[in-house]
Amino acid sequence: MSMLNKVCLITGATSGIGRETALALAEQGAELFIVCRNAQKGEAVLAEITSQNPDCKITLLLGDLACQADIHRIAQQFLETGKPLHLLMNNAGVVNTHRKLSRDGIEETFAVNHLAYFLMTELLRERLVESAPARIVSVASEAHSFVKGLQFDDLEYESTPYKTFKVYGHSKLCNILWTRRLAKQLQGTGVTVNCVHPGAVSTGLGHQDHAVIGKIVGLLLKPFFRSPAQGAKTSIYVATSPNVENITGEYFSDSKIKRVKPWAKDDEAAERLWKISEEYLKLA
């Protein structure tokens, strides 16, 4: 898909994989809408992108993806531009070392890593269909293998012991199941839906919650990490390559379709998750 003058909305683009993805899309001539929480960081990445690509049209949309009201406002601000939307990149994510609640009173990892993807996409869904061919690309993770299925009796880890990697993996399993369900719903519309595993990437993920622990974990694992630029390659490939033009509902790693764990192909669980998510987001 040629990205020249294509309109792209990216969440979490101020650092790491999101930043590298935004830089690559700008290089290819795309118009960018960047969703970020921190205005200062947003202005910094905007300056970096425009310094490298002076002709790039880029707009900041400020808001907290842990807050449903902010997501509604961000989506409305985009829709009011009247522009088409050719690529929605759900990239923002959190990793917490202990249980925290979002501004809406929902466990934060579930709220940001899954419900924010769901809500942003639903609010922009009609515009994506109108703009087809269009793509929805979401950053999932091989961490979905850390769990053995969705924990429907305790999605927010209220009574289950809060283990960082398990909770994160649970949210990434949500991403894959949601992608499969959404792809089926959008079949025949010209909008494809895929998710990607970027690999173990050295980014700011995990530093939001506890700076000391995040830095220690980062230092211990750094020799095994890819750079953000390397981690972004699969996201960029799935967002732009003509080779995946008609592929939907898949999970990519190293720019190739990868087999997921059996519990990530559970369509009954995907449907149940969809209905529960609608209730959380008051969309039902």
Q: What is the sign of the dihedral through the CA atoms of 164, 170, 171 and 175?
A: positive
Asked if the peptide bond before residue 54 counts as cis, ω within 30 degrees of 0, the response is no
Which one, of 230, 134, 125, lies nearest residue 178 by Cα? Answer: 125
In whole angstroms, what is the distance from residue 195 CA to residue 270 CA? 15
Of these residues, 117, 168, 237, 280, which one is catalytic? 168
For residues 195 and 134, the answer to whether their CB atoms sit within 8 Å is no
| DSSP code for 261 | P
Alpha helices in 28-67 (DSSP H): 39-52
| DSSP code for 89 | E
Would you call 237 a catalytic residue per the annotation?
no
Q: Please state whether beta strands 58-62 and 256-257 pair in parallel, antiparallel, or not at all (unpaired).
A: unpaired
Provide the annotated active-site residues. Answer: 168
